[in-house]
Amino acid sequence: MQIFITPYLWLSGIYGTIETPIDRASTVNVNVGPFQVLGDLVGAPFMGSAEVRYGPIGLLGDVLHVPLSAPVSTRNAFYQGGNVGLTANTGTAVALYRFIDLPNQFADFGGGFRSWGFEADVGLNPGLLPGAATKQRAGWGDPLFAGRYHYDFGNGFGATAYGDVGGFGLGAHTDWQVMGTLDYALNSWISLRAGYRSLNFNYTTEVGSVGFNIHMRGPIFAGTFRF
């Protein structure tokens, strides 16, 4: 049995729209660039993944907690912008089967789920209308299909690609992720990784009172410890 622990730093920008019950501002826009995130954090984030592998079977888990505050745009003069406190909590668990296992490459395929807890505390500045505020929150789970491919170039260098897709209207309408990294093995039990990650979902309640269409993307830096 092998265990892999991967703490990481994901400088994720957050871009998207939030549906609200506020008069004349049923939709507000959120745009936070990747390098704004560190300055906009309002609490301690947590980011990490772990994998347990036994033969061709692997169990992969990933946990993400990001609390931040960011400006919003309302697209009109009824409100003069505002601010939103965002808290994203997500946990992913997938089982992967290794159907290619060669000395210089491997490929996995499997399935699992991703759970979400997403909260937006929206405050709008007065314009033609008085200021307004609302808190939108939702929690749901999405089934996923996932795949991963790794190739070793030699001399400790390699590359890894991972992707998953889910939701299918059972939780979110769509829920998908892609990630690619360049890897360097310092030794047999430590590898350094740098690349890009994009995690996206579109969720609306059946009555339409809560809705999020969010894209989280940016550079990622990680270290994997093998036991």
pLDDT at 24 over 80: no
Q: What is the pTM of this model?
A: 0.91
Predicted confidence at residue 99, as pLDDT, reads 97
Q: What is the mean pLDDT of residues 99-127?
A: 93
- Secondary structure class of 69 (helix, strand, coil): strand
**pLDDT confidence of residue 208:** 61
Backbone angles phi, psi at 8, to 5 degrees: -150, 160
pLDDT at 78: 79
Structure confidence at residue 191 (pLDDT): 97
pLDDT of 128 > 90? The answer is: no
Percent of the chain with pLDDT over 70: 96
Report how far residue 138's alpha carbon sits from residue 135's, in angstroms, rounded to the nearest whole number.
10
Q: Residue 70: CA atoms inside 13 Å, Cβ hemisphere, count?
A: 27
The share of the chain scoring above pLDDT 90, in percent, equals 61
What mean pLDDT do residues 123-141 have?
Answer: 85
Query: Identity (one letter) of the amino acid at 155?
Result: N
What is the Cα–Cα distance from 30 to 32, expressed in whole angstroms? 7
CB contact set of 11 (below 8 Å; sequence gap of 6+): 34, 35, 37, 38, 218, 219, 220
Which of 3-7, 68-72, 147-151, 195-199 has the lowest average pLDDT? 68-72
Cα gap 86→69, rounded to integer Å: 6
Q: Residue 146 pLDDT > 70, yes or no?
A: yes
pLDDT surpasses 70 at 21: yes
CB 223, CB 202: distance < 8 Å: no
Residue 150: name the closest of 65, 69, 11, 53 by CA: 53
Report pLDDT for 133: 83
pLDDT tens digits along 83-111: 888 899 999 999 999 999 999 999 999 99
Q: Please give the full DSSP string across 46-59, using - where no structure is assigned.
A: EEEEEEEEETTEEE
Place of tokens 């260098």: 157
Above 90 in pLDDT, residue 194? yes
Q: Which of 7-16, 24-33, 81-90, 190-199 has the lowest mean pLDDT?
A: 24-33
Tokens of 24: 């004349």
d(CA 73, CA 163): 31
pLDDT of residue 207: 66
d(CA 183, CA 192) in angstroms, rounded, equals: 6
The mean predicted confidence, pLDDT, of the chain is: 91
Complete domains list, the chain, with CATH: 2-226 (2.40.128.90)
pLDDT value at residue 7: 97
User: 194 versus 11: which is more confidently predicted?
Assistant: 194
Q: Residue 51 in 3-state DSSP?
A: strand
59 and 49 Cβ atoms separated by less than 8 Å: no
